[in-house]
A and B are shown apart, each in its own frame.
Chain A
Amino acid sequence: MTDTKNPDQIKATVIDQDSHMSIVMDDMTGVSMEDFAGRESVFNLSDVNVHYGNSLAVKDVSLDIYKNQITAFIGPSGCGKTTILRCLNRMNDLIPSARVTGSIKYHGEEMYSPEVDPVQVRKLIGMVFQKPNPFPKSIYDNVAFGPRTLGMSGNMDEIVEKALRDAALWDDVKDRLEDNAYGMSGGQQQRLCIARAIAVKPDVILMDEPCSALDPVSTFKIEDLMMELKKDYTIVIVTHNMQQAGRVADLTAFYSVVSNDEIGSRTGQLIEYDTTNKIFSNPKDSRTRDYVTGRFG
């Protein structure tokens, strides 16, 4: 046995115990950031700054996001966690005033270089939004829209069924695939959005507070699903809910707001990025400690 533990093996035991309620933090002790160092990373961010017009929204974010891990972004409102998340599939391109500088590499390729087509980026990097946003169509058409639009080959019924099964939704909806998606519960709608995202076989799934509009039972179903999905996908999740980060994330990045009263600006900053266990039990920065113990934010 080597000294370094394999984070995957440890997580696997956690899942086997079927106790998503309490991620057994003790099991993660001993896994440190160094254990991830040699692993395959999906994103490498270095010195990323995001401007909206003339104001600097997020400053100097550098971090690596590892393959088949769940990485959580936590922090108070306005800390830039969602902004950084939306940089990862170039959704910020849709805001005309947004400007991204620094380097974001996706599997070693510069994502913001001029020859990269943002549409191609979004094919590989899917996104699930804060509020469930199914299309005003049938459940079937919601899932089939992506594969059809991207011209994916194969039997559409099979593609839809597979995506719905992978999103743990098949048994709920198999008898009403032609019903309007708006007739589903909020939790089912969000799982439909996940099914829709995985139907196009992405590499990464970005989740922007996917459970903030959901009840606890639906939240746990989605968290279960995320633990399942990370076998095949890399997941980055923004969450307001620290317990959620504690339950699902392997790695956690804590962002905070640095305000400059002189010029009246508020800029988000990455304060600390480490294993979830470390962030919650023994953070390096006092601001992280204050936040995770509930003293501010």
Chain B
Amino acid sequence: MATLNSPLPKRSQAAALGARAVTESVFGKASVQLKVKNLAFYGILLTALTIATLSIAAILIWSIVEGHPRLDLNLLVNNPSSISPETAGYRPAILGSTYLIAGVILFIVPIGVASAVYMELFANRAKWYNRFIELNIQNLAGVPSIVFGILGLAFIVRGPLSLGFVVAAGSLTVALLVLPTVILASREAIRAVPSSILEGSLALGATLWQSVRRQVLSAAFPGILTGVILAVARAIGEAAPLLLVGAVTFVTFDPKYLEGGYSALPVMIYNYAGRPQEEFHTLAAAGILVMLLLLMSINSIAIWLRARSEQNW
């Protein structure tokens, strides 16, 4: 026991032991069972965390191990090729994905934030249509992406918008897919701004619009960006709806917004991974790393913006 080894004089040691005996007689000893339970709980938490981390690590490590022979500049700047996989690259797909995501962000930020502002600050929840809209947005967040692909094909590629199989159609389709994420996250962020802030601003004679824009939205900005990050992360990896709205698996020219074919990283990775030759599998693994790199560079801009504006409540 620690107390016996301590440099206290003998009488003090005896006193310390006596004090412990008294404490234990009053409160009872800490039960072993309780300690075991605590440890077990801690263990469960740690296991869960390990599983989550391991799966991410597994993907990364596998991609690096498989793809490392092809981690060169050709990967980024060359066009794809079915003849020489040793020098083939992802150029059109990288550009396609970048265009796609840029369009998604341009679409989801204003529409998502405006919807969230309406639902949090203006909608009268007593009205049935506001509750109906709210329910629908929550449900939309859980709709499988292929359904949005069909929607995009019917209404954006064909139908009323008739954009054809172009990047803009892909952007719009994926934007619709991730819009609920942005709306829900923005609503949370707006709700977290105390109503006293809005009241304080209105009481100074600011208009509702000025108060919402300069106080509520500026305070909710970090939370809204978090929603955008989540949405972009989902959008960049979507392949299924893109296949339906015209992303082709193999293009050798740079995409344009409103005309011509285009590809995207996940679609092209899917194409390479399905080929029999080993070299194409290496190329696919390297492509995963390219996609993660693109995602990280987009998100790092958002994270930098968020850190810059973060407020302490």
Contacts and interface: CB of A to CB of B under 8 A. Distances in A.
A234 B198 CA distance: 24
Contacts of B215: 135, 145
Interface stretch (B161-169, B200-208, B296-304): B200-208
Given A119-B207, A133-B194, A145 B311 contact: no
Contact of B204 (A96, A134, A182, A200): A200
Interface residues of B, number: 20
Given A136-B312, A180-B311, A196 B204 contact: yes
Given A136-B312, A180-B311, A122 B203 contact: yes
B312 A180 contact: yes
Nearest to A89: B203
Contact of A129 (B199, B210, B214): B199
B124 interface: yes
A233 B200 CA distance: 19
A99 to B, nearest CB: 15
Nearest to B215: A135
Given A129-B196, A136-B313, A197 B204 contact: yes
Contacts of B206: 119, 145-146, 149-150
A134 B313 CA distance: 10
B219 interface: yes
A217 interface: no
A73 to B, nearest CB: 17
Contacts of B205: 119-120, 122-124, 126, 146, 149-150, 200
Contacts of A137: 311
Contact of A145 (B124, B194, B196, B214): B214
Given A91-B202, A145-B214, A197-B204, A133 B196 contact: yes
- Bin the interface of chain A by size: 20 to 34
A193 interface: yes
A127 interface: yes
Given A94-B202, A136-B312, A180-B312, A131 B196 contact: yes
B214 A126 contact: no
Nearest to A199: B204
Contacts of A133: 194, 196-197, 199-200
Interface in B202-235: 202-207, 210, 214-215, 219
A122 B199 contact: no
Contacts of A126: 203-205
Interface of B: 124, 194, 196-197, 199-207, 210, 214-215, 219, 311-313
Interface of A: 89, 91, 94, 96, 119-120, 122-124, 126-127, 129, 131, 133-137, 145-146, 149-150, 180, 182-183, 193, 196-197, 200
